[in-house]
Structure 1
Amino acid sequence: MSLPSEVDIAIIGAGAAGLGAARALENSGLSLIVLEARDRVGGRGHTIMAAPDILFDVGCGWLHSADQNSFVQIAKQLNFEIDKTRPPWREQGFDAVFPPKERLDFIQALDDFYDRAEEAAKSGRDSAASACLEPGNRWNPMIDAISTYVNGCELDQVSISDMEAYQDSEINWRIRRGYGALMAAYGAPCPLALNTQVTLIDHSGPRVGIETSRGTLSAAKVIVTVPTNLIADESIRFYPALPAKVDAARGLPLGLADKVTLALDQPDALPRDGNLRGATMRTAMGGYHLRPFGQACIEGFFGGHFAQELENAGDGALAAQAIDEIVALLGSDYRRRLKPLAESRWAHDPFARGSYSHALPGHAGARAVLAAPVDGRLFFAGEATSPNFFSTAHGARDSGERAAREVVAEIATR
């Protein structure tokens, strides 16, 4: 759509948070526009057809804490089928690859780590989650690998207080047509300006001026929903400057979790919705979801420093690493049976620069700082502002709805 010269409310970013804010305001009687730098909605939620019969969520794919997840009801309203198959993360279909006794030993070490972290968080003194690893435990590198998938980074970069604030009911479902596809349908009614990159938010005057790649506009209120790395890097600048927001964003960097999907020849030889992980004793390793939804593919997951190294190696590096690891686990026959289809490279996405936020040790309080409104005119949302559901799409969506309520309450007091 064309860019209006002025609106009551401008929402910056059409990810889950921006869409949540826009949908919450759609019957408010206020004029609004959602400004999105990409040519699509969804932000870090994006579904593609990697092959004619293989759907791939390039970004978020799981309805985490599904019994509390606001996208579950949205999916039902929009007639998106929900798949309630249990995630295979703690299972393993190949005893020769990861013997049951070893697997149970690893799971026990992982659970013990989380128990120690929970106890440490009760002290009220924040520290790096790596302090809760048992010294010398042989499973520590693999526990760190799990952190790279869950937090997008290694445990030495994770705040214990923040990790324990995260709420997880351990009920995880999926959207058969894709989480990104659900977000696109959810955002369809929103007034959108795509391919519109915001560079400056000028709140020095009576109205807020917004400079974009397609011109300028003004708004009475602005809801900022962009990822923390863009605020931390000052890709979007504020005038006057907001150093407290920039500092908060820098304490909540985006970790990196990347995904790859590989077409699988002769899929019936592998279990549907199976899990594959080797007892590698390495942090630099992938995890594999076999035949998600029964599709003829394998999804691979890489996180933290290792994902960054693979991204930096260029297109195709994640797929090549995944194939090498699967061949090492299942045999050389898989070299010819696997074909790269698609992979994410979120650190190299200029409008994300990472996957999802984690609080650095000592910075758990930054989420509340980032979420706080400024001067009754600037409001902030996004997964990083969620106190308990950060790093999730529903946490982002709910934060957008929260920011919309703050805007309406502010207008009502005038």
Structure 2
Amino acid sequence: MSPALIEPVDVDVVIVGAGLSGLRAAVDIHKSGLSYVVLEAMDRVGGKTLSVPDSPQGGVVDFGAAWINDTSQVEMYRLAKDFGFELIEQTATGLNLYQDNKQNTVSFPYSGMPFPGCRRYDKQQAQLYEAFGQMAVLVDRSDPEMPWLGPDAKRTDSLTLAELGEKEIGGGIGSVVLNVLSRACLGLESSEVGALPVIDYVKAGTGLENISSDLKDSAQYLRNRQDKSYECIPASLKFSTRLAESLNAAAVKLSMPIFKITQSDEGCMASTSPGPEYRCKKVLLSVPSTLYLLIEFTPSLPATKEALSKSKLGYYSKTIFVFKKPWWRDAGFSGAIASDTGPIVFSRDTCVPNDKQYSITCFHVAEPGKQWSKLRAEDRREAVLKLFRAMFSTVVDDVPEPINIIEKEWTKDPWARGAPSPVMGPGVLTSDAGKAVREPVGHIHFIGTEASLVWKGYMEGAVQSGIRGAKEVIADLAE
């Protein structure tokens, strides 16, 4: 029987996307008693959370989102506690390494600033703190719920982040600071993004200090070691698998991409490939705005939503070096390195000592990452190893060979196409399009980490957005 002759499946709600946002929304829909289905294009749940074995030694590492905190990321922390997860603090001790664009490598304390030759009262250091201070003022003055109404909104939305650095944030040092921020948080160069969307992004992450720190209250404070009640699938992917386990049997349909959503006064018809059509009263769409173009909407989405599809997803990839021992810790180093030119833009120690998992995760982001991505697989690996060895060989006599090297390029994943979340260019956030990010279109409701008021681009933002979307749908269907 051809798909056209198969009777549609009737449910109250179709949830598109089985990442954290879609799954968390599904949990509340499930509890409400509404019927539902979760349709996922990938062959797994989790979206941009992905945990994989690191080596035959038995550890697990995260290719995707990895960190939470226990203060401002209340929903993720609640899930961790409800699921019985064991959280470990991010290592934030020892010396970091920094390489400038002339290949000079210097070490500095973990809490210090990565500029060679700087001392606390040096002119360059003072300029650096001034630039941070100026950016922090703009962030503090921004309105988190309606950023287009803030006192600096119109002016900053007319600029790229790079232009803001050149014109308002400390000249040369300001430009450097904002490009470091843009690369690390968004996977994009500061010239590619609007200044106001980045200010809003930082505001959603509780401020400049927290979003760029690995300490208490910050974005990179805690990682999930394992689920105490299960012996398999530790790390961040387990948040998604445990959410999925709480839903109806067979409610999550994998390898089931949506290619068309047809809307009428009564509801929606969601067409899948290669599966059936689903007739529903509401759709919860947990898809990045940059992927809206993969779905045929009938009638078309309004111009405001279509404009959002022109936002940019960053280049964000990881190479993970796995070692027999944490030799860098023994030598007094944190495992955190940074390079102006790449291909490693920054790294973090991602060890789990209790599991004898010793790793350093290297991040390839923005333009250096894009250039590295063009290389053949073996050349990519060699380029990362070369820089890693070159930087550490300036401070240790011997850089051990890793027992395993694994990488993940999110841009080459057909259902991700980049990470962490879409970012608008100049002039969008203060326009009607910017104000429409969270607005429903008829029976279609929009969720996902980019549509969150808090912690955009992070797991917390995804979960909170899912909760908000479920509330909208449940309230509408109760009328």
TM-score (norm 2): 0.76
The code of the aligned residue for 2:417 comes to R
In structure 2, the partner of 1:203 is 263
Q: Does 1:168 align with 2:205?
A: yes
Q: Does 1:123 align with 2:127?
A: no
In structure 1, the partner of 2:422 is 357
Supply the distance in 1 between the matched residues of 2:335 and 2:130 (Cα, whole angstroms).
22
2:15 is matched with which residue: 11, 26, 32? Answer: 11
In structure 1, the partner of 2:298 is 239
For residue 373 of structure 1, give the secondary structure of its aligned residue in structure 2: coil
What CA deviation, in whole Å up to 9, does each residue of 1:195-251 have, x standing for no partner?
1010000114633111111121211111000122211xx111211110321212323
Q: How does 1:249-260 map to 2 (within 5 A)?
A: 249-251=309-311, 253-260=312-319
With over 3 angstroms needed to count, the CA separation of the structure-2 counterparts of 1:145 and 1:85, relative to structure 1, is closer
Q: 5+ residue gaps in structure 2?
A: 1-6, 99-103, 109-116, 143-150, 211-216, 227-234
Supply the distance in 1 between the matched residues of 2:458 and 2:126 (Cα, whole angstroms).
26
Supply the distance in 1 between the matched residues of 2:389 and 2:13 (Cα, whole angstroms).
53
In structure 2, the partner of 1:329 is 391
1:189 is matched with which residue: 246, 250, 256? Answer: 246
Q: How does 1:14-413 map to 2 (within 5 A)?
A: 14-51=18-55, 52-63=57-68, 66-85=71-90, 87=92, 92-93=95-96, 97-100=105-108, 101-102=117-118, 110-120=128-138, 122-124=151-153, 125=155, 126=157, 127-130=159-162, 131-133=164-166, 137=172, 140-141=175-176, 144-165=179-200, 166-169=203-206, 170=210, 171=217, 172-177=221-226, 178-190=235-247, 191-204=251-264, 206-213=266-273, 214-231=275-292, 234-242=293-301, 243-251=303-311, 253-271=312-330, 274-278=334-338, 280-282=339-341, 285-294=344-353, 295-315=357-377, 318-331=380-393, 337-355=401-419, 356-365=421-430, 366=433, 368-375=435-442, 377-413=443-479
With over 3 angstroms needed to count, the CA separation of the structure-2 counterparts of 1:64 and 1:308, relative to structure 1, is farther
1:303 to partner: Cα distance: 0.8
Q: For this pair of structures, how many residues does the alignment match?
A: 404
Supply the distance in 2 between the matched residues of 1:22 and 1:247 (Cα, whole angstroms).
28
1:315 to partner: Cα distance: 3.5
1:36 to partner: Cα distance: 0.4
Supply the distance in 1 between the matched residues of 2:8 and 2:253 (Cα, whole angstroms).
9
The code of the aligned residue for 1:38 comes to M
Supply the distance in 2 between the matched residues of 1:405 and 1:69 (Cα, whole angstroms).
18
In structure 1, the partner of 2:146 is none
1:53 to partner: Cα distance: 3.1
For residue 281 of structure 2, give the secondary structure of its aligned residue in structure 1: strand
Share of identical aligned residues, percent?
23
What CA deviation, in whole Å up to 9, does each residue of 1:48-81 have, x standing for no partner?
1121333211100111574333111111111111
Larger Rg: 2
Q: 5+ residue gaps in structure 1?
A: none
C-alpha contact 1:260 1:344 (8 A) present in aligned 2: yes
In structure 1, the partner of 2:4 is none
C-alpha contact 2:49 2:236 (8 A) present in aligned 1: yes
With over 3 angstroms needed to count, the CA separation of the structure-2 counterparts of 1:59 and 1:291, relative to structure 1, is closer
With over 3 angstroms needed to count, the CA separation of the structure-2 counterparts of 1:103 and 1:40, relative to structure 1, is farther
C-alpha contact 1:144 1:283 (8 A) present in aligned 2: no
1:397 to partner: Cα distance: 1.2
With over 3 angstroms needed to count, the CA separation of the structure-2 counterparts of 1:192 and 1:4, relative to structure 1, is farther
What CA deviation, in whole Å up to 9, does each residue of 1:264-307 have, x standing for no partner?
244334359824325x5547642122353343221101211222
With over 3 angstroms needed to count, the CA separation of the structure-2 counterparts of 1:144 and 1:54, relative to structure 1, is farther
What CA deviation, in whole Å up to 9, does each residue of 1:323-382 have, x standing for no partner?
11111111297666135432111111111111122222222354541211112x111100
